[in-house]
Chain A
């Protein structure tokens, strides 16, 4: 079973619409990272969250880490074709390890 569950697995939205992607863990998240990946390429870092209740924004993308530090959401406002890609959450699941465990990703398509 996956340690990190992402939902939905895929999403098709019309340009201009808002959307939310969720990342849920059965363990406490010691750090939560959001990445974006285009097909066949590497991962691009978007945001890092570490404190319960923390919220960060960059351009039209906002990410939150809930108070209990077991779930994060990524919200895109007024989506654009440039937002299309695969969104991955990566988490530090133990207090001392430095590696990231990733979810399976959410594939986003933005239609005109």
Chain B
């Protein structure tokens, strides 16, 4: 059990550029979650997968955001045409069914 791994740890990009983050969950965890956290706030739910199926998406996930988990293992979160308001920590978590979420250390995105 090596924990949830997220890459990159930090990303600085210019407004309008596309970015992609990767999350490698704990092996054999069926569920994978993406959250966004801004300074001084708790994490906000974005979306989650059970195996390869994306089961729920938040209203926060605009058309510019897309997440995939193609083989039910790792997941990617892509943000197209980034805006300054997208600057945040993007957290990934995984869990077996009906068990506590295990979080990665996040990817901090700064949009200049």
**Interface positions of A (Cβ within 8 A of B):** 4, 33, 35, 40-45, 48, 88, 90, 97-105
Provide a sorted-by-A list of 15 A–B residue pairs whose CB atoms are within 8 angstroms: A4-B42, A33-B100, A35-B103, A42-B103, A42-B104, A43-B91, A43-B93, A44-B103, A45-B103, A88-B42, A90-B43, A100-B45, A102-B43, A103-B42, A105-B42
- Known A-B contacts A48-B100, A98-B48, A98-B98; A40 and B108 likewise in contact (beta carbons under 8 Å): yes
Q: A98-B48, A99-B45, A99-B48 are in contact. Are A41 and B106 (CB under 8 A)?
A: yes
B29 at the interface (CB under 8 A from A): no
Q: Within the complex, what minimum Cβ distance (angstroms) separates B73 from chain A? A: 19
Question: In the complex, A42 Cα to B92 Cα: how many Å?
Answer: 9
B28 at the interface (CB under 8 A from A): no
Q: How far is the CA of A104 from the CA of B38 in the complex (A)?
A: 10
Contact of B56 among A48, A90, A99 (CB under 8 A): A99
A102 to B44, CA, bound (A): 7
Residue contact A42 to B91, C-beta cutoff 8 Å:
yes
| Complex alpha-carbon distance, A104 and B97, angstroms | 25
Contact of A42 with B40 in the complex, beta carbons under 8 Å = no
Q: With an 8 A cutoff between CB atoms, is B4 at the interface?
A: yes
Residues of A within 8 A of B31 (CB): 98
Pairs A-B, 4 closest by C-beta atoms: A102-B42, A42-B103, A43-B103, A42-B105
Known contacts A99-B33, A99-B56: does B101 contact A45 (CB below 8 Å)?
yes
In the complex, what distance in Å separates the CA atom of A88 from the CA atom of B103?
13
Q: Is B41 an interface residue (CB 8 A)?
A: yes
B100 / chain A contacts, CB cutoff of 8 Å:
33, 45, 48
> Within the complex, what minimum Cβ distance (angstroms) separates B57 from chain A?
11
Within 81-110 of B, Cβ neighbours of A (below 8 Å) are at 89, 91, 93, 97-98, 100-106, 108
Contact at A97–B56, with CB atoms within 8 Å? yes
Complex contact B41–A42 (CB within 8 A): no
List the B side residues contacting A40 at CB < 8 Å: 89, 106, 108
**Which residues of A are found within 8 Å of B103, using beta-carbon distances?**
35, 42-45
A residues less than 8 Å from B45 (CB atoms)? 99-101
